[in-house]
Each structure stands twice: as structure tokens, then as C-alpha cells.
Amino acid sequence: MLKIKKILCPVDFSDFSAKAYDYAQSLARHYGATLLLQHVIQPMTATYPYYAFPDMVNEAFWHLDSTAEKKLDEFLAEHQAEGIQTERVVHNGMVTDCILEFAKKEGADMIVMGTHGRQGFDRLTMGSVTEKVLRKAACPVLVVRKPAHNFVRPSDTNETVRLQKILLCTDFSDHSSRAFSYALSLAMEYNADLHILHVLEDMPAAENLQAAIADCAARLEGLVSEDDRNWCKAHSAVRIGKPYQQILQMAVDLDADLVVMGVRGRNAVDLALFGSTTHRVIQIGSSPVLAVHT
């Protein structure tokens, strides 16, 4: 049984991080997890290391802690749901390093964070902090990209977010197997529909295509046991084409609340590409994406 005991949610007080916090709270409620709310103050000297700053600037930085703590209190007052055990912390330093170090120190089981979905260069890089955390985190990372992608059910007063349709993408590898365990657990916790997708990119010859599709469909059906099907509705699909394009299209077709994907190991090649399919789905798509490392 999958256990999620600690969830880390870094916030910068933007709408993006507020939406991520909604997801983090919902997950914390379902898994009975402690929610770690973190804000990082990055010094000016770290952002612009080649400039000399007057003493008054440096002194002002060291007084930001109390301001940040006050803003965290205000953030909690506005967004906190009842019944969630939350611990808030303020750290000073490089944002990415502080997030990764705190996640490691606390043994976080998941990181939930928002990312700015702007146009141009920022759209391609996803926001440097989020991308670096995705590359280097040892635990799964849930990225909530657009605050407009809203799955809150107003009728549920105790639920900030209700996952109803979860899309799992699998290529039948070990890293997909680990992602499957998260997707299945989430589907069971939320009593959600679990849609499992495999994309055939390297198509066999025409005479073998139907056989290949049938084989993949049978493997997808076999992933979910009969007992598991008592807790969630499982559906499977095989599509043909570029994986990231088919994943994005199916997420749109389903109006998926969450996409779950496995990410290969963090060797040099994978750090450079970050698993091009996962990277593109996060870059381009509007659904939140849970990236699960092997």
C-alpha cells in the first residue's frame, strides 16, 4: 500500500502556488499526511553575484524573515482548509537548493508546486526552479501549471480539489510501473476513473498492426486486478503516433484532472532531456502532471 506521510508545497504567494496548495491540501487530507508549507527568500547577492550592494540592502534582506512569516500566516488564513496538519517554514538561500535540501531533510514523499505558464522563453523552460526540482528531486513531483485549470467541486465544502479522471501513461517499463502504483493509489483514494494509455510510436508493418494493438490492449487490461477494480473504474486505450502528442490529446479529450507519468533515471542523458515526453507534456499541457522517478 502506497504511503504518503509528508507533502512539501513551496509557495511564492502567486496564483500558481495557491492552486498548487489546493492540490497539496487535498492529497494531505486523503492520505493523512503532514503538509509542509515552505517559502524561500533568495538574497539579492545570489541573484546578482557580480554586483556590490550597499549595507542597507543587505540589512533589509535579513529583516525579510518576519515579513515572510506574516505573509505565510495571511496565505494560510486565506487558503487553509480545516483538518489539515500544516507546518510552515521560511528559509534563506537559493530557491531550488532550499527546496531540495528541505525535501531530503524531512523525507518528503511528494513535492507539489506551481509553475508559471507564460509565453516565449519561460514557456519553454517551465520556470527554472520548477524544472530543476523536477530534474533533481528524489521523490515524485506534482506540477500544477495553470490556475485556470480548476477542478474544485463547490458542493464539497471539505474538498479543495476533487480528482475524478486520472490519466496514466505507460510504456510497460519499470519507471512506468512505479508511476502506475501512484496512479492506482490516487484513483482508489478519490474513487476516480483511471484511464491507462499506451502509445505505439514505432508502428509494426500493416499486417501486424492489429495484432500489436490487441497485444498492448491485453497488457493494459492486465495491469489492474479484479480486486482493484472494486475501488476504481479502470479504462485502457492504445493510440498511435508521437507519445507526447497523443498524451496531450487524450488529456484534453478526457478533461483529465491529473496526468501521471514515469521519468527515467537521472543519468547524464536524462538530465539533459528530462525524458522528452514528460517534459513536453508539462510544457504544453494544461492538466497537472505527477512526474514519478524510478
Output the average pLDDT for the chain.
82
pLDDT of residue 119: 39
- CATH (residue range 163-294): 3.40.50.620
Domain boundaries for CATH 3.40.50.620 within the chain: 1-159, 163-294
Apex CA 234: angle with CA 24 and CA 176, to 5°? 65
Helices 243-254/276-284 angle, 10° precision: 40
pLDDT of residue 162: 85
Give backbone dihedrals phi and psi of 3, rounded to 5 degrees, phi first: -115, 130
Summarised one tens digit per residue, pLDDT across range 111-124 is 999 886 443 334 44
Q: Supply 37's cell numbers.
A: 508549507
Which positions ≥6 away from 273 have C-beta within 8 Å? Answer: 279
Task: Write out the E strands in the chain.
Answer: 6-10, 34-41, 86-92, 110-114, 141-144, 165-169, 193-200, 233-240, 258-263, 289-293
- CATH (residue range 1-159): 3.40.50.620
Residue 238 has pLDDT above 90, yes or no: yes
3-state secondary structure at position 214 = helix
Count CB-CB contacts under 10 A for residue 248: 19
3-state secondary structure at position 232 = coil
Residue 141 has pLDDT above 80, yes or no: yes
Q: Contact 135/271 with Cβ under 8 angstroms?
A: yes
Residue 44 has pLDDT above 80, yes or no: no
Percentage above 90 pLDDT, the chain:
47
Measured between alpha carbons, how far is 84 from 159 in angstroms, rounded to an integer? 11
Instruction: Give the global pTM.
Output: 0.85
Question: Which of 6-15, 27-36, 38-47, 89-98 is least confident?
Answer: 38-47
Measured between alpha carbons, how far is 100 from 201 in angstroms, rounded to an integer? 34
